[in-house]
Amino acid sequence: MSGANGAPAAELVVDLDAYRENLRVLRELAPASQQMAVVKANGYGHGMVPIARAARDAGADWLGVARPEEALALRSAGDDGPVLCWLETPGAPFAELVEAGIEVTASSAEQLEEILAAAPSRPRVQLKVDTGLSRNGARFGADWSALVRAASRAQESGRVQITGVWSHFACADEPDNPASAEQEAVFIGAVDELRGAGVEPGLRHLSNSAGILTRPSAHFDLVRVGIASYGIDPDPAVRFPGVRPVLTARARLAQVKEVEAGARVSYGYRWTADHPTRLGLVPVGYGDGLHRTASNRAEMGYAGRRVPVRGTICMDQCVIDLGELPARRGDLVTLFGPGDDGEPTAEEWAQAAGTIGYEIVTRLAGRWTRTYRGER
C-alpha cells in the first residue's frame, strides 16, 4: 500500500548486507560444520527468495524450508543449490520434489515408502528422528527402528540414497536445561543404530540457532541457522554477539490530531488522555500482523524518541501518543528495527505482546511493501 506520492504507507526494509554478515558471524561459531540457512515461512517474514539469494551469496551450503511449496518456489526462482524440505503431508508432490533435486525428509517408515513409490528416480532422503521434541520425526525406539529397517532395505535394493539424519532441540534456548544433553545422547544412539543396520548417515545435524551457542558438542556435520541469522536472539538468555537485526518496520502517519484531556482512544476506550496531547494515526494493525496484545504496551520510534501506542490496536491502524513532538501527515514512524535511532527492536515488541521475536517478524503479512537494501 502506498501514499499519494507513491511512498509506501507501510514498509518493511530488509538489510541484506546485515543478513550476509550475520551468516558470516554464525559460521565462525561452528567453523567445522556446514551451514544451512533456514528460509521457511517466507524467510521468517523477510521475503524468502531475496533472503535465499543473499544466503547463497554469503556461502550458505544449504537452504532449509518446511513445506514442499517453499522448496519448489526456490527452484522456480532459479536456485539450484542443495535444499532440504522436512514437513510433507500425505499426497505431497514427491515426484516433483525429487525431479527438482530437492532432498526430502522421511519421518516414518510409512512416509519413506510413500516417497519411494512416488519418486521417478532414486530420491535423496534424509531421515528424521524424534529425540524428544515430539514433533515430526520417528520417535526413538520402535518407530525409529522401523524407519531404519525400511531405509536399509531400500538402500540394499538401490531405491534410495540416504543423505542425512537429523533431529531438533526442544530446549537449546535454555542453557541449563538438561534436556539438550539428553537429546544429544539419544541422537548419537539413533545414528549408531542406523550405522549398525549398514546405512551410513550422511550429514548429521541437530543444532538450531540456540544450539550453536549452547551445545558446541552437537554441531556435528551441519548446523541450521534460523532466527539468529535475522539478527534476533532465540531467547534473552541466549545472546549472539555480533549479529544485527535485518528488518526495519516503518510506516507514514496517516493523520495527526490534537486532543484535549479526557479524550478516549480506540475500541473499548482502554486509554484516556490525562492532559492535552498530540496523537498520530499509524496505518497498520493486526490485519498486517501486529499483535493486539501489544495495545497500550508497545512503543514506536519517532524523531529519535520513543512514543507509546495508545488504546487498542485495530485491524488496519493504531494510535501513538506524540506528546509535544511536532509532527505532520506523512512523517515516518518506526515500529521496530535495529535500534540505531532509538527505535524499539522486534524483541521489545515481543515483550510488549507477550510472545517471542520469531512471531513478531513471521506474522508480518498482507499490505506491507518490502524494500531490499544490498541486493546484488
Give the annotated binding-site residues: 135, 315
Q: Which of 40, 230, 286, 302 is catalytic?
A: 40
Query: Are the beta carbons of 141 and 120 closer than 8 angstroms?
Result: no
Q: Which of 19, 257, 267, 358 is catalytic?
A: 267
Cα(7)–Cα(2) distance, rounded to whole angstroms? Answer: 5
- Give the count of alpha carbons within 13 A of 59, CB side only: 11
Query: Are the beta carbons of 162 and 155 closer than 8 angstroms?
Result: yes
Supply φ then ψ for residue 141, to 5 degrees. 130, -135
| Contacts of residue 153, Cβ cutoff 8 Å, sequence gap at least 6 | none
Binding-site residue set for substrate: 135, 315
Has 40 been annotated as catalytic?
Answer: yes
Has 128 been annotated as catalytic?
Answer: no
Where are any strands of DSSP class E within 161-254? 161-166, 203-205, 222-225, 247-252
CA distances to 94, 164, 256, 280 from 324, rounded to whole Å, are 60, 60, 12, 11
- Give the count of alpha carbons within 13 A of 365, CB side only: 10
Active site residues: 40, 267
